[in-house]
Amino acid sequence: MKLLKTTLLAALVFGLFSCDILDSPAPQQSLDSEVVLNDADGLRGIVTGMYDGIQNVNIANGQYNYTAELLGDNVSWSGSFTTFQDIAQRNLQSSNGNFNGWWNVSFREINAANILIQQAGLIDDPAFTDEERDLIRGEAHFARGMLYFQMAYVFAKPYWDDPSTLAVPIRTEPVLGVPDFDNLERRPLSEVLNQAEQDLAQAANLLPDTRLRSNRRATRYAALTYLMRLELKRQNYAAADGHAQAIQAAGFSLTDLPVEPFQNEFSSESIFEIINTNQDNGGANGGLNAFYTPNNLGGRGDIQISEFFVDALDEIVTDAQQTALDGQGFTVSDLRAEIGVMLNGLVPQTSATLKYPDGTNNADNVMNARYAEVLLTRAEALTEQAADLALVPQEAFDYLNQIRRRALRVVDGDGLPAGPAGTATIEYTAADFNDKQELLDAILLERRIELAFEGDRFYTLKRKGIPVTNGAGTFQTNDPCMVFPIPQGEMDANPNMVQNPSC
């Protein structure tokens, strides 16, 4: 049996035997597939299994973050796992199990979503209300849109380079048995993104319009966040800003300190989190805690802060701002460096992030989306839409400065808050820049530091076409060494599959 066929057929079984990332009761394990597909409880069980699949370390509970980060410039790899070492060194081979896991788990959950979308309309049960049908469809469209969006990022060249470049197959019909399976071809990136957009837009219409649900599953705003990211990838900044504005209207807010979203689950900043518990997590050799948490806190400490990130952190306060601070007798520190984020005085190659500090229980949630990203996206999108610096609206500076005011602590000689005079010194105005590009550079630098170790950096570099310099060298983001190869097992099984250029 073909590799992908086995993976897709496993989706139905997986929905029956999984535990829920949201601590819901596990579905019954004795139902056969015919009962599951025609029973409301069976569909509810598949939803549970689909969310549990999203929690898998091969996708949203791990590789969306750390595998992507290893292709960027914020971190370095010091561990013994050769699959990760090869990625960090840009030795991207189709036999690497990380790529196989990303591919197979993604398509397994896409198939679960396909089953739910089809079967939700076929259940004949008076207790199965239209409201619940729509909710199940919304959950499925969200998952499918998210999965296609993420796959398009890593298995294809950048959109700006060539929207027609091959990405991944598009499968929207469920595979319920061997006769349903066929070997699909890869589709152009533009088509895959269109499919993701359709799914996410449908999800935004069907999912609850609330900041957080009681069961912590996706809401309309999680779908809108992915739509915002998708339009950034297309460099459609007006559309991206529109989605960001809709998220703003929902009442999210920055926490008082930048570390709080990682200390307090589901803070005012949280849009969507992947839940981990003491019993249900990525494990000691697979989740974010395993690789990011330092040894002295129970983790492996394999992913460490790069010298390139430390250099970038030094640029957050400009020379002109530092001169002004010195002249007033003020001192500034970045709370993102000082409060629970990094160790060892920011010595590169020996420092680790503390955004995931629970190495003992591996129970830290994974922050999939938070409000700081929305503010930084608005600043970028508003700036990109302006013809020149003089036409950049004040809002763009306001959103950028919101992030800076929270992160940068300015004190006087006695260690007391410097007040409005100190705050004004580290805020940006148009006078701080010679042109629009300098402002964009400042926004992207702020994004790099604010969202560090959350999986954002590689995706930002790739969508903007910014060359990546790290320990492996300097690479353009349309270089074959910045694109995942199609897993070898899939190449062997599917005669219609075309491989990416070798790295």
pLDDT tens-digit series, residues 302-311 = 998 898 998 9
* Statement: residue 36 has pLDDT above 70: no
* CA–CA separation, 188 and 148 (whole Å): 12
Q: Residue 342 — pLDDT band, cuts 50, 70, 90?
A: low
* CA–CA separation, 355 and 332 (whole Å): 22
* Statement: residue 24 has pLDDT above 50: no
* Statement: residue 349 has pLDDT above 70: no
Q: Residue 179 — pLDDT band, cuts 50, 70, 90?
A: confident
| Element at 5 (helix H, strand E) | helix 3-17
The Cα-based distances of 102 to 61, 65, 151, 296, 497 in angstroms read: 11, 12, 8, 30, 17
Q: Residue 332, Cβ neighbours under 10 Å: how many? A: 18
Q: Residue 478 — pLDDT band, cuts 50, 70, 90?
A: very high
Q: Are 151 and 167 in contact (CB under 8 A)?
A: yes
pLDDT tens-digit series, residues 90-130 = 999 999 999 999 999 999 999 999 999 999 999 888 889 99
pLDDT score, position 463 = 97
Question: Domain limits of the chain?
Answer: 3-281+351-367+451-490
* CA–CA separation, 96 and 283 (whole Å): 20
pLDDT score, position 22 = 38
Q: Are 44 and 129 in contact (CB under 8 A)?
A: no
Residues whose CB is less than 8 angstroms from the CB of residue 382 and which lie 6 or more positions away in sequence, other chains included: 237, 241, 392, 393, 395, 396, 399
pLDDT tens-digit series, residues 479-502 = 999 999 999 999 999 999 999 999
The Cα-based distances of 73 to 107, 376, 459 in angstroms read: 29, 19, 11
What dotted CATH number matches 3-281+351-367+451-490? 1.25.40.390
DSSP code, position 132 = H
pLDDT tens-digit series, residues 193-236 = 999 999 999 999 999 999 999 999 999 999 999 999 999 999 99
pLDDT score, position 337 = 85
* CA–CA separation, 193 and 198 (whole Å): 9
Q: What are phi and psi of 410, to 5 degrees?
A: -110, 125
Which residue in this structure is represented by tokens 């029973």? 39
Q: Residue 21 — pLDDT band, cuts 50, 70, 90?
A: very low
Q: Where in 241-302 does DSSP place strands (E)?
A: 270-274
Closest among 24, 89, 96 to 58, alpha carbons compared = 96
* Statement: residue 30 has pLDDT above 80: no
Q: Are 55 and 443 in contact (CB under 8 A)?
A: no
* Statement: residue 132 has pLDDT above 90: yes
Q: What is the mean pLDDT of residues 47-74?
A: 95
Closest among 448, 460, 502, 456 to 479, alpha carbons compared = 502
* CA–CA separation, 84 and 77 (whole Å): 7
Which residue in this structure is represented by tokens 């001169």? 323
pLDDT score, position 10 = 52
pLDDT tens-digit series, residues 267-297 = 999 999 999 999 999 998 899 999 998 888 8
Q: Are 141 and 182 in contact (CB under 8 A)?
A: no
Sign of CA dihedral 323, 325, 330, 331: negative
* Statement: residue 14 has pLDDT above 50: no
What one-letter code names the amino acid at 338?
Answer: E
Residues in the chain: 503
The Cα-based distances of 343 to 69, 292, 302, 317 in angstroms read: 19, 12, 14, 20
Which tokens hold the place of 357?
């500090």
Query: Across all residues in the chain, what is the average pLDDT?
Result: 90
DSSP code, position 270 = E
